Amino acid sequence: MRKITKRSITFFLIAALIFVPFVTTAVAADQTQDDEISAGAMTVDLLLVRPVGIVSVVFGTAVFIVSLPFSALGGNAGNAAKKLVAAPFNYTFTRKLGHFEEQKRGGY
């Protein structure tokens, strides 16, 4: 009995490893890019994501200020400013409502 259970688990594991890539490809091909953003996505963005973004801007600015002497000595103060201050600021305040993809602006 134990041998049958072990073989069954092995068979299903191998089958899953073989068929999962095909299923995910089929599902991805079935989805189309929709330019129209839903009201739910806009609501989640406005009520949840934007306030978290504001907190991340404040926290990133504080971390940048604390790390500024070290990053200035290392010569990467510009990169630190882009990653800790500019990227959260742009994600929070310059992207369209409901669009969650990060937009590449200003080289960050």
Which pLDDT band holds residue 82 (cuts at 50, 70, 90)?
very high
Give residue-wise pLDDT tens across range 21-55.
766 665 555 555 556 888 888 899 999 999 999 99
Q: How far apart are CA 65 and CA 61, in angstroms?
A: 6
Q: CA-CA distances (angstroms) from residue 70 to 44, 60, 67?
A: 37, 15, 5
Q: How far apart are CA 49 and CA 100, in angstroms?
A: 9
For the whole model, what pTM was predicted? Answer: 0.60
DSSP letter at 82 equals: I
* 107 token code pair: 């080289």
CB 53 within 8 Å of CB 88: yes
CB 63 within 8 Å of CB 32: no
